Chain A
Amino acid sequence: MKLITAIIREPQLDQVRESLIASGITRITVSRVSGHGAQRKEEIYRGKRIVPNLIPKIRIDIAVNEAFVDPTIDAIVEAARSHDGMDGEIGDGKIFVTPLEQVVRIRTGERGGAAI
């Protein structure tokens, strides 16, 4: 089992969600986060160039069994990569994959892969 954590652009959430659903991954947790990475892309706001400071991002957490790791990653990359017609820009985000020790479904008390 793996925990996949993706940090993506805020406006890409719908694309990524639809892409995940299309790949059969429907159990996700989404949160609003801020941070900075390598993104230095200047934005134009009211005619001025500004370099955003802490940038609002979306974080998606998905717990998956081994067989779903690659499809999940592919679905996220495919949908989060293009942005306003550009393909692959700094700021598109990152995906972290970490080993997951245990999963428990609270309703039934099931454990392990079946509980995902």
Chain B
Amino acid sequence: MRKRLMMLAVFLGVGVISVMAAESPEIDSGATAWMLTSTALVLLMIPGLAMFYGGLVRSKNVLGTMMHSFAAMGVMSVLWVAVSYSMTFGENVLGGWIGWNPDYLFLQGIDQTIMEGGVPEYVFSMFQGKFAIITPALLAGAVAERIKFKSYLLFITLWGLLVYNPLCHWVWAPDGFLFNLGADGAIDFAGGTVVHISAGVSGLVAALYLGARRGYPQRQMRPNNLVITLIGAGLLWVGWFGFNAGSSVSSGLTTAQALTATQVAAAAGALMWMVVELTHQGKATALGFASGILAGLVAVTPAAGVVQPAGALILGAVASLVCYFAIMLKDKLGYDDSLDAFGVHGVGGIVGALLLVFFIRNEWMANASEAIGGIWTVWDQFVVQLAAVGIAIVYALVVTIVLLWLVQKTVGLKSTPEEEMQGLDPSYHGERGYGMLNPN
């Protein structure tokens, strides 16, 4: 997401395209090939997430929960092409609250555009669109097993337009105000604030607003199939290479740095969770290992472009530790964040976005100092990160409450007790997930 790659085509009128086409940069087939691969890898994370979440709920809700992820693929993709790309990567309007560029509606203005990095803008747009899909799908983990399907669809539509799009614009658009905060912008390489903090915080708000599942926390709600949860966690890890390494929008040194940091942080996170659980509880659970993978990956997401392997190692391990205790704390406080969307994504995202400043590689700091023509210290950057995280939290929190209220007043939000007891699968989808025990 570097500035230089995105300056192009913001002001391209349809009429100018043919003129520009002659001067537009050559296609860099290496970078384009990697970005195409990354785009596919990020999409792979969504069925991965569906499996991760699907295995964790009770068997009567497995399809309903997986459908939360799959439905996001439909809703958010259509929105992305229609208006969201314009709202995120268009020019500032309404005082910079969102972007807007009529040429981006239905992507009609980028048909011939090659960006400065030698990547067709279609690829960049589709790559970015995948992030818009996974964010509400992550959020859904907080409200799993008790939200009406229609209400969920309406909620993610509004949430995508009014929470995700503005945040994405602020952080990643060349004229977004967080992109230009401080010496060289708030650091959010691949979506710590935009994706994980926004999804985690909104998830927490939604979980509190909706109330707990029936019988929570007295009644045990055991995962129905940890095997698919582990497969899902594995797919997420694989897909995350596209998520992080693809966010360099190139195929070169930064890509390699991000890829390495991603692998290291995931491993450190998983290992840390396992060790803590082993010493604290006596047994190392498979779910714990999977949660550790996620905590590490989430924490390194904002940092992947700026930290070295040792820093990624510490980030992953610390985030895993903090998330572990955040989930303990959740159990004490008794709120029902069903699948720990906040506990892992919110908390891990905050830890990563703040602590990354202590591990930034020297070259980045030197560039930042040069940019302001003075000394840019770690603490200066820490303040910038703190501001970005704070703004993301407050914005996501406030708008999510308003949207939840709106959806509840119009179509209702929480499943009726009867629907919840029967399960989301029969109630909203008319299907059952598993047929293995039925001789039919």
A residues sitting closer than 8 Å to B (CB atoms) are: 10-12, 14-15, 18, 32, 34, 43-45, 53-54, 56, 84
Quick check: B438 and A11 within 8 Å, CB to CB?
no
Contacts of B439 in A (CB 8 A): 34, 54
**Complex A-B: 15 CB contacts under 8 Å:** A10-B426, A11-B60, A11-B427, A12-B422, A14-B421, A18-B421, A32-B437, A32-B438, A34-B437, A34-B439, A54-B438, A54-B439, A56-B432, A56-B437, A56-B438
Tell me if B430 is interfacial: C-beta within 8 Å of chain A: yes
Query: Does B423 belong to the interface (CB within 8 Å)?
Result: yes
Give complex CA distance A10, B421 in Å: 11
Q: 7 tightest CB-CB pairs across the interface, nearest first? A: A11-B422, A14-B421, A54-B440, A32-B437, A56-B438, A11-B426, A34-B438
Main secondary structure of the interface of B (DSSP, over half): loop
How many A-B pairs with Cβ below 8 Å? 33
Among B214, B418, B430, contact of A45 (Cβ-Cβ < 8 Å): B430
Question: How far apart are B422's CB and chain A's nearest CB, in angstroms?
Answer: 4
CB contacts (< 8 Å) of B431 on chain A: these are: 45
A31 nearest CB across to chain B (Å): 9
The CA of A83 and the CA of B179, in the complex, are separated in Å by 55
Given the known interface contacts A11-B60, A44-B430, A45-B430, the answer about A53 and B440 at a Cβ–Cβ threshold of 8 Å is: yes
The B199-232 residues at the A interface (CB cut-off 8 A) are: 214
- Which residues on A sit within 8 Å (CB–CB) of B430? 43-45
B418 proximity list for chain A (CB < 8 A): 15, 84
Residues of A contacting B432 with CB < 8 Å?
10, 56
Within 8 A of A (CB), among B413-440: 418, 421-423, 426-427, 430-432, 437-440
Chain B interface residues toward A at CB < 8 A = 60, 214, 418, 421-423, 426-427, 430-432, 437-440
The answer for the CA separation of A34 and B435 in the assembled complex, in Å, is 11
- Cα A20 to Cα B26 in complex, Å, equals 72
* Candidate in A11, A32, A53, A54 with the most chain B CB atoms within 10 angstroms: A11
Cα of A18 to Cα of B418 in the assembled complex, Å = 12
In the assembled complex, which residues on chain A have CB atoms less than 8 Å from the CB atom of B426? 10-11
Q: Name the distance in Å between A27's Cβ and chain B's nearest Cβ.
A: 16
User: Quick one: closest B residue to A18, CB to CB?
Assistant: B421
Bound state CA distance, A32 and B436, in angstroms? 11
Known: A10-B426, A18-B421. 19 other contacts (CB 8 A): A10-B432, A11-B60, A11-B421, A11-B422, A11-B423, A11-B427, A14-B422, A15-B418, A32-B438, A34-B437, A34-B438, A44-B430, A45-B430, A45-B431, A53-B440, A54-B438, A56-B437, A56-B438, A84-B418
Kindly state the separation between the CA atoms of A12 and B421 in the bound complex, as whole angstroms: 8
Give complex CA distance A77, B387 in Å.
Answer: 60
| Complex alpha-carbon distance, A53 and B440, angstroms | 7
Q: Give the distance in Å from the alpha carbon of A12 to the alpha carbon of B427 in the complex.
A: 12
Q: How far is the CB of A20 from chain B (nearest CB, A)?
A: 14
Alpha-carbon distance A85/B431, docked complex (angstroms): 19
Across-interface contacts of A84 in B (CB, < 8 A): 418
CB distance from A107 to the nearest CB of B (A): 22
Distance in Å from the Cβ of B389 to the closest Cβ of chain A? 41
Q: Which residue of A lies closest to B427 (CB)?
A: A11
Kindly identify which residue among B421, B422, B423, B440 contacts A34, using a CB–CB cutoff of 8 Å: B440
Nearest CB on B from A56, distance (A): 5
Across-interface contacts of B60 in A (CB, < 8 A)? 11
Please, which residues of chain B bring their CB within 8 A of the CB of A18? 421
Chain A contacts for B427, CB-based, 8 A: 11
Instruction: Select from chain A the residue with minimum beta-carbon distance to B440.
Output: A54
| Neighbouring B residues of A11 by C-beta, 8 Å | 60, 421-423, 426-427
Residue of B nearest to A33 (CB): B437
Q: Contacts of A14 on B, CB cut-off 8 Å?
A: 214, 421-422
Closest to B214 in A: A14
User: In the assembled complex, which residues on chain A have CB atoms less than 8 Å from the CB atom of B214?
Assistant: 14
In the complex, residue of chain B having the shortest beta-carbon distance to the beta carbon of A52: B440
Residues of A within 8 A of B422 (CB): 11-12, 14
Residue of A nearest to B58 (CB): A14
A65 to B306 CA separation, bound complex (whole angstroms): 70
